[in-house]
């Protein structure tokens, strides 16, 4: 769009090179302003916004102009009744800083806010903490889930401290113990209490108390049957107790013991009744077996030596073992290899001691080949004389229950780990370790890294195997372009789930013999790969593999893995955000404390009341001088720069900020330092202002050398050129006598080029003169109409493509340097022709008012984009796009603007990209006309 560029705005523009630097500095200054915090704004005492940085505008979802100078309560009326109002009010009234987090419903956003009292109002720094809040919410939910489970579990759960004292327990445990936590801590039933009994109904000797054992050995204690006296029932409750000592990294022994108690009082009673029944039935085999066939458990019966004599049908159905081939001695072959020895040892011990047998182990499901958890119990059946004649054993399927509990526990453990640190590499490794201790034999976490897949964590209970896996991975890195497994998950963001991996499947997926060998070596049994996603973008995946445990991952495991991936993704996202925030903070601090940029706070009267070291060093003052009030903007500004300061000041007052300007300061030793300054008003009413100051001594020196070089070079070029011109004149005369037509043509061409060279050098000399303030003007009175007519005639004479028309007349005289103003007009006319190669007309128009004559030159050429208009009259500036097609130095408009300005006139352009340009210049009418 059309735009008027006033010559006055060009006053501070000294050179293109300077500008390039200046632009870079402006960006740096802006960066500091914008990086002071994530978002901040300033309010005056009437609650009006006086300053907002870019981030504040983004976080408040409004336009800057819609907020500036408006009251915050008018713009956000919903906040009037809120914590925001209450806290800001406090800042004003009590002059204290306030820090709070609050949800703002209309913007559906959680903000973390720091509000500080400012001299004339309040400064507010804030960030959007939706992500953190969501994480906290999720963690809270996960904690609640765990709590609910804890509260409602039918099993008793007790946490003991490192001294074996009860810290916490759930309602089921309270019921078993017959005491609540307060009663336990205050020893309420001390006088009534009776000792805890072991399986043989004898008190546990102290050193054998299962909790003590867990604490001293750090070993898990499993399935200990014990009787605990319940003072409310006034009787013993029988429980099966397991205890897991919990250890902290770097800790010294367990910091607590987690114990579960299953109440078996009723079963024990039933068993005793059954025991009696059996006696009464005198072990009638038939009835006994009938009973065994009807109960829903797997049942077996052995003789007194422990040799199994009978399995019920359910047992055969489950194991798919052929009844005719089974060796009763080898029943344990149906157990999971890891459980066999333990089961056999327990059994032999029971047979030997005649004590009840109770153990959890995994039995192979003959149909699916999967191992399922069972709770196995066996009761000795005694003859009338008390001699054990048989054993009656049951196996109850507890697989689902156990896995669900285990998965919940796993998720809860994983959540704790994921929220424990913001270093996600460590966290992910720990998460993989937890997965291995709970649900998988292998767990690995991979993250996408460009075209690669980085293995960031891998876990297995055997460290040797981890090394082997890492090595394997190094030698056979997966590729993102594969269409299976991990690569597929990373590509599609969808879960891959292989409940059972047969050898055929391995054969089908291996690309060669070697890969097949490796796959077989790993022994894949069941696999789940879940994607890690941040904002619907897949960033990696978690792989869970079951191998030697032969755990066949269930749908419930897939859900658990999915939930784990969600929580891990959130943790990764959080740590990334945290890292970013840390980085920004340190960047800001580095800038603020850097020796590069001076930062000062001052008022509009020039009183500087705060300055960083960079500024003090620049002007050679100390902190003490500052405290004594010796630093005053006006006092350290030399008279030559007062005008530039005043321009900046008026800009500051009208816009709230001042574009960068160059000036000098008087240092404490009396010398001067050149600087570039940018300023912004922090508070309009108090006129508190922040300014950023950059020392440009080195740049100034460089520019001076450059200017000197241009001056010398153009002088040195001009002298030989004058001689060449002289010799061509002599040649002209000689050739004229020779009447050689070809030589005449060549000489004419030579002259044209010499003229062009001459004018280029003359322009460069002008630039150098302007820089040195030595551009001479010879003033006289002349007619503007004549100047325009002569200019058109001379240009039209050498250009036939464009027809130059003229409208309007001045009929006025001006006082000026005619030669220089001709230079301006012909320069604008030549540009109009040069930059409209496809057009054929130029329109010149003259108009006037009481005091000024305006000349405009309109072309129908390439035009100028709006963003380039304001730089057009700068030294050496050329529009990048057109510079490729048209040659030039970018100084014509600079010289023209300088000449017009020296005449007290103005020069500007109106243009649109692709739609031609109109250049205008004005000259004051000579007085006395
Ligand atoms: P030069 O023409 O030698 O590059 P000038 O100082 O005369 O230098 O012009 C500066 C720049 O302004 C040019 O490079 C060109 O990009 C742009 N310009 C000047 N006049 C016109 C015009 N009439 N139409 C389009 N662009 C123009």
Cα 890 to middle of ligand 1, angstroms: 7
From CA 784, how far away is CA 32, in angstroms rounded?
50
Cα 883 to middle of ligand 1, angstroms: 8
Predicted pLDDT of residue 1? 36
- Which run of H or of E encompasses 229? strand 221-230
pLDDT band at 509 (very low <50, low <70, confident <90, very high): confident
From CA 547, how far away is CA 559, in angstroms rounded?
20
pLDDT, average across residues 220-230? 86
Give the range among 182-186, 200-204, 921-925 with minimum mean pLDDT: 200-204
Q: Dig out the tokens for 753 from the structure.
A: 């080029």
DSSP 84-130: HHHHHHHHHHH---EEEEEEEGGGTEEEEEEEEEETTEEEEEEEE-H
Dihedral (Cα; 734, 739, 745, 746), 10-degree rounding = -40
| Cβ atoms 174, 166 nearer than 8 A | no
Is 299 near ligand 1, meaning CB less than 6 Å away? no
Backbone angles phi, psi at 690, to 5 degrees: -110, 140
CA distances (Å), origin 529, targets 114, 116, 445: 43, 50, 10
Q: Is the pLDDT of residue 701 over 50?
A: yes
From CA 45, how far away is CA 118, in angstroms rounded?
10
- End-to-end CA, the chain: 37
pLDDT band at 20 (very low <50, low <70, confident <90, very high): low
Give the range among 321-330, 628-637, 641-650, 906-915 with minimum mean pLDDT: 321-330
Q: What is the mean pLDDT of the chain?
A: 84
Predicted pLDDT of residue 856? 97
Q: 343-350 — which CB contacts under 8 Å span 24+ positions? A: 343/376, 347/306, 347/378, 348/306, 350/306, 350/378, 350/380, 350/391
From CA 603, how far away is CA 688, in angstroms rounded?
5
Which residues lie across from 675 on neighbouring strands? 663, 695
Highest mean pLDDT among 158-172, 357-371, 535-549, 893-907: 893-907
Predicted pLDDT of residue 338? 87
pLDDT, average across residues 777-781? 92
From CA 46, how far away is CA 72, in angstroms rounded?
9
In tens, the pLDDT along 68-122 reads: 899 999 999 988 888 999 999 999 888 888 989 898 888 888 888 888 888 778 9
Q: Dig out the tokens for 804 from the structure.
A: 């130059």
Q: From 644, 639, 680, 642, select the one nearest 661 (Cα to Cα).
A: 644
From CA 607, how far away is CA 603, in angstroms rounded?
6
Nearest CA residue ID for atom 11, ligand 1:
878
| Cβ atoms 60, 49 nearer than 8 A | no
Q: Which atom of ligand 1 is nearest to the CA of 872?
A: 12
Backbone angles phi, psi at 550, to 5 degrees: 55, 35
Instruction: Indicate the SS3 state at residue 532.
Output: strand
Is 891 near ligand 1, meaning CB less than 6 Å away? yes
In tens, the pLDDT along 369-421 reads: 778 888 888 877 766 566 777 787 888 888 877 877 888 888 888 888 777 77
From CA 233, how far away is CA 220, in angstroms rounded?
30
872, 881, 886, 894, best to mutate for ligand 1 pocket (most atoms within 8 Å of CB)? 872
Predicted pLDDT of residue 225? 86
Summary count for the chain: helices (H), strands (E): 30, 32
Cα 804 to middle of ligand 1, angstroms: 18
Burial degree of 445 (CB within 10 A; 0-12, 13-18, 19+): buried
Predicted pLDDT of residue 641? 92
Nearest CA residue ID for atom 9, ligand 1:
890
State pTM to two decimals: 0.40
Q: Dig out the tokens for 280 from the structure.
A: 């009464």
Q: Dig out the tokens for 160 from the structure.
A: 């003991």
From CA 594, how far away is CA 612, in angstroms rounded?
9
Residues 6 or more apart from 701 whose CB is under 8 A from it? none
Sign of CA dihedral 558, 560, 562, 564: negative
Give the per-residue SS3 of 329-394: HHHHHHECHHHHHHHHHHHHHHHHHCCCEEEEEEEECCCCCCEEEEEEEEEEEECCCCCEEEEEEE
pLDDT, average across residues 718-740? 87
Cα 824 to middle of ligand 1, angstroms: 13
- Which run of H or of E encompasses 42? strand 40-44
Is 156 near ligand 1, meaning CB less than 6 Å away? no
Is 652 near ligand 1, meaning CB less than 6 Å away? no
Is 529 near ligand 1, meaning CB less than 6 Å away? no
Residue with tokens 């090595």: 471
Cα 835 to middle of ligand 1, angstroms: 7
Nearest CA residue ID for atom 3, ligand 1:
888
pLDDT, average across residues 205-223? 78
Predicted pLDDT of residue 71? 92
In tens, the pLDDT along 674-690 reads: 999 999 887 767 778 88
Give the range among 200-204, 695-699, 767-771, 900-904 with minimum mean pLDDT: 200-204
From CA 280, how far away is CA 302, in angstroms rounded?
19
Q: Which atom of ligand 1 is nearest to the CA of 919?
A: 23
- Which run of H or of E encompasses 760? helix 741-772
878, 891, 920, best to mutate for ligand 1 pocket (most atoms within 8 Å of CB)? 878
pLDDT, average across residues 537-541? 91
In tens, the pLDDT along 26-70 reads: 455 445 546 555 687 888 989 999 888 888 888 888 888 888 899
Backbone angles phi, psi at 87, to 5 degrees: -70, -45
Q: Is the pLDDT of residue 240 over 50?
A: yes
DSSP 444: E
DSSP 539: E
Predicted pLDDT of residue 475? 81
Predicted pLDDT of residue 4? 36
Q: 58-65 — which CB contacts under 8 Å span 24+ positions? A: 59/109, 59/111, 59/126, 59/127, 59/128, 60/107, 61/107
Burial degree of 122 (CB within 10 A; 0-12, 13-18, 19+): buried
From CA 642, how far away is CA 606, in angstroms rounded?
12
Instruction: Indicate the SS3 state at residue 886.
Output: coil
pLDDT band at 19 (very low <50, low <70, confident <90, very high): low
| Cβ atoms 754, 721 nearer than 8 A | yes
Cα 884 to middle of ligand 1, angstroms: 12
What is the length of the chain? 929
Is 171 near ligand 1, meaning CB less than 6 Å away? no
Burial degree of 779 (CB within 10 A; 0-12, 13-18, 19+): middle
| Cβ atoms 455, 446 nearer than 8 A | yes
Q: Is the pLDDT of residue 844 over 90?
A: yes
Predicted pLDDT of residue 783? 94
In tens, the pLDDT along 510-527 reads: 778 888 888 888 888 899
- Which run of H or of E encompasses 528? strand 526-534
Cα 785 to middle of ligand 1, angstroms: 25
């Amino acid at each position: 769009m059309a735009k008027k560029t006033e010559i006055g705005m060009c006053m501070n523009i000294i050179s293109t090179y300077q500008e390039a630097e200046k632009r870079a500095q402006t960006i740096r200054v802006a960066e500091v302003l914008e990086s002071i915090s994530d978002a901040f704004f300033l309010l005056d005492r009437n609650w009006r916004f006086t300053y907002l940085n870019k981030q504040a505008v983004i976080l408040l979802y409004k336009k800057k102009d819609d907020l500036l100078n408006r009251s915050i309560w008018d713009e956000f009326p919903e906040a009037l009744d809120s914590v925001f109002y209450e806290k800001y009010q406090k800042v004003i009234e009590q002059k204290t800083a306030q820090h709070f987090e609050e949800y703002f419903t209309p913007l559906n956003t959680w903000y973390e806010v720091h509000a500080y009292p400012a001299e004339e109002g309040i400064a507010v720094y804030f960030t959007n903490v939706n992500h953190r809040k969501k994480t906290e919410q999720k963690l809270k939910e996960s904690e609640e889930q765990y709590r609910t489970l804890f509260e409602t579990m039918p099993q008793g759960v007790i946490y003991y401290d490192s001294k074996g004292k009860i810290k916490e327990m759930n309602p089921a445990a309270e019921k078993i113990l017959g005491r609540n936590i307060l009663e336990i801590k205050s020893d309420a039933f001390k006088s009534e209490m009776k000792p805890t009994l072991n399986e043989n109904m004898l008190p546990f000797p102290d050193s054998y108390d299962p909790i003590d054992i867990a604490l001293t050995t750090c070993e898990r204690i499993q399935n200990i049957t014990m009787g605990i006296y319940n003072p409310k029932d006034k009787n013993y409750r029988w429980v099966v107790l397991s205890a897991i000592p919990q250890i902290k990294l770097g800790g010294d022994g367990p910091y607590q013991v987690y114990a579960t108690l299953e109440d078996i009082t009723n079963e024990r009673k039933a068993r005793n009744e059954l025991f009696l029944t059996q006696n009464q039935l005198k072990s009638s085999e038939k009835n006994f077996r009938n009973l065994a066939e009807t109960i829903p458990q797997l049942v077996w019966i052995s003789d007194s030596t422990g040799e199994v004599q009978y399995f019920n049908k359910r047992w055969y159905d489950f194991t798919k073992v052929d009844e005719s081939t089974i060796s009763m001695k080898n029943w344990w072959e149906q157990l999971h290899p890891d459980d066999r020895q333990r089961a056999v040892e327990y059994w032999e011990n029971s047979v030997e001691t005649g004590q009840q047998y109770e153990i959890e182990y995994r039995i192979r499901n003959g149909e699916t080949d999967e191992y399922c958890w069972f709770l196995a119990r066996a009761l000795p059946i005694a003859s009338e004389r008390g001699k054990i004649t048989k054993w009656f054993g049951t196996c109850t399927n507890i697989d689902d229950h156990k896995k669900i509990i285990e998965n919940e526990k796993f998720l809860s453990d994983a959540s704790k780990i994921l929220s424990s640190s913001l270093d996600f590499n460590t966290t992910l490794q720990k998460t993989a370790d937890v997965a291995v201790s709970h649900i998988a034999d292998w767990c690995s976490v991979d993250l996408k890294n460009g075209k690669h897949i980085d293995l960031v964590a891998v876990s297995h209970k055997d460290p040797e195997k981890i090394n082997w896996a890492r090595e394997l991975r190094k030698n056979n890195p997966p590729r993102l372009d594969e269409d299976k497994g991990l690569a597929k998950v990373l590509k599609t963001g969808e879960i891959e789930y292989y409940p059972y991996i047969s050898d055929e499947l391995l054969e089908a997926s291996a690309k060669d013999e070697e890969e097949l060998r490796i796959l077989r070596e790993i022994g894949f049994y069941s696999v789940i790969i879940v994607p890690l996603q941040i904002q619907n973008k897949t960033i990696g995946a978690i792989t869970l593999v079951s191998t030697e445990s032969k755990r066949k991952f269930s749908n419930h495991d897939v859900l658990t893995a999915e939930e784990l991936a969600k929580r891990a993704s959130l943790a990764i996202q959080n740590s990334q955000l945290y890292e970013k925030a840390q980085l920004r903070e340190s960047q800001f601090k580095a800038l603020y404390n850097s020796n590069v940029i001076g930062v000062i706070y001052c008022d509009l009267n020039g009183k500087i009341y705060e300055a960083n070291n960079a500024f003090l060093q620049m002007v050679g003052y100390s902190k003490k001088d500052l405290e004594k009030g010796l630093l005053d903007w006006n006092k350290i500004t030399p008279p030559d720069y007062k005008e530039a300061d005043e321009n900046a000041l008026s800009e500051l007052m009208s816009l709230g900020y001042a574009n960068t300007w160059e000036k000098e300061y008087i240092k404490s030793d009396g010398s001067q330092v050149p600087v570039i300054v940018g300023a912004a008003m922090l508070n309009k009413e108090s006129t508190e202002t922040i300014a950023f100051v950059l020392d440009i001594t080195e740049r100034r020196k460089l520019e001076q050398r450059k200017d000197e070089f241009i001056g010398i070079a153009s002088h040195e070029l001009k002298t030989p050129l004058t001689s060449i011109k002289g010799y061509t004149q002599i040649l002209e005369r000689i050739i004229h006598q020779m009447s050689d037509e070809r030589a005449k043509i060549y000489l004419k061409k030579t002259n044209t080029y010499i003229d062009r060279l001459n004018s280029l050098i003359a322009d460069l000399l002008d630039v150098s003169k302007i820089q040195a303030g030595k551009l001479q003007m010879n003033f006289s009175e002349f007619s503007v109409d004549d100047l325009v007519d002569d200019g058109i005639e001379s240009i039209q004479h050498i250009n036939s493509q464009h027809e130059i028309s003229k409208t309007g007349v001045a009929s006025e005289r001006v006082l000026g340097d005619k030669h220089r103003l001709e230079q301006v007009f012909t320069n604008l006319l030549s540009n109009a022709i040069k930059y409209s190669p496809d057009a054929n007309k130029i329109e010149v128009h003259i108009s006037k008012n009481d005091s000024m004559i305006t000349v405009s030159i309109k072309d129908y050429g390439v035009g100028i984009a709006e963003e380039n208009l304001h730089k057009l009259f700068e030294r050496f500036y050329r529009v990048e796009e057109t510079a490729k097609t048209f040659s030039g130095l970018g100084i014509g408009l600079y010289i023209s603007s300088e000449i017009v300005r020296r005449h007290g006139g103005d020069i500007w352009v109106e243009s649109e990209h692709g739609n031609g340009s109109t250049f205008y210049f004005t000259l004051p009418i000579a007085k006395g006309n």
